[in-house]
A = this chain, B = another copy of it.
């Protein structure tokens, strides 16, 4: 249990707590369903029934389906961003832990990444599912994320650790490699996962 949740349990009345937890449960279910079936493929009924709710009851917590999409993508992006921000050290070490974190996260929220790409730059973005302000916010998260990679790579070039020429191309290539990983690899336990992460990071370092 997170610290804030623990505090919440002490000071807030039960119904507020329940409401707050329910909201989170719904977002988690939305992430699952949107990831598994796509935004248009997943129905509010699917999401609601996954946590034993009727689809009508969802509307008590969130006012529309697109808000659910925004909250879902926002949650994932922010969690990933926070994790990456926590990666420190010399350029090489920092990038290594960023890559490990990114891979781990991608496999945890398994296959949510295509959804995110789609919301940020793909089909859903073109269709205008989200309001401009929401899109702008999510894109900023993504930009911040890319910025972290950018800084690390640039620092490594400056210090002479890395020899790559074009920072932008390099960063997006690394992200391309990492994003594509869940499509073809599916490590089933920690041992396989560790071996896989080692291989992937080795490959990425060849770009630097």
Chain A contacts to B: CB under 8 angstroms: 35-41, 111, 114, 117-118, 121-124, 126-127, 164, 166, 169-170, 172-173, 175-181, 183-185, 199-200, 203-204, 206-207
Q: Identify the interface centre among A118, A127, A200, A203: most chain B CB within 10 Å of its CB.
A: A203
Q: How far is the CB of A203 from chain B (nearest CB, A)?
A: 5
Q: Identify the interface centre among A38, A169, A173, A203: most chain B CB within 10 Å of its CB.
A: A173
Name the B residues within 8 Å of A172 (CB-CB). Answer: 180-181, 183-185
User: CB < 8 Å: which of B39, B114, B121 contacts A117?
Assistant: B114
Q: How far is the CB of A39 from chain B (nearest CB, A)?
A: 8
User: CB < 8 Å: which of B39, B114, B199 contacts A169?
Assistant: B199
Bound together, the chains give a CA A185 to CA B114 distance in angstroms of: 17
Bound together, the chains give a CA A120 to CA B203 distance in angstroms of: 25
Name the B residues within 8 Å of A122 (CB-CB). Answer: 38, 111, 114, 183
Q: Cβ of A183 and Cβ of B121 under 8 Å apart? A: yes
Q: How far is the CB of A139 from chain B (nearest CB, A)?
A: 12
Bound together, the chains give a CA A206 to CA B170 distance in angstroms of: 11
3 closest A-B pairs by CB: A176-B180, A40-B40, A38-B123
Name the B residues within 8 Å of A118 (CB-CB). Answer: 38, 114
Name the B residues within 8 Å of A37 (CB-CB). Answer: 123, 126-127
Q: How far is the CB of A24 from chain B (nearest CB, A)?
A: 23
Name the B residues within 8 Å of A176 (CB-CB). Answer: 176-181, 183
Q: Cβ of A203 and Cβ of B123 under 8 Å apart? A: no
Q: How far is the CB of A88 from chain B (nearest CB, A)?
A: 26
Q: Cβ of B169 and Cβ of A36 under 8 Å apart? A: no
With A40-B41, A41-B123, A203-B207 as contacts: A180 and B180 at CB distance below 8 Å: yes
Name the B residues within 8 Å of A41 (CB-CB). Answer: 39-40, 123-124, 127
Name the residue on B nearest A183 (C-beta): B121
User: CB < 8 Å: which of B117, B179, B207 contacts A206?
Assistant: B207
Name the B residues within 8 Å of A169 (CB-CB). Answer: 199-200, 203
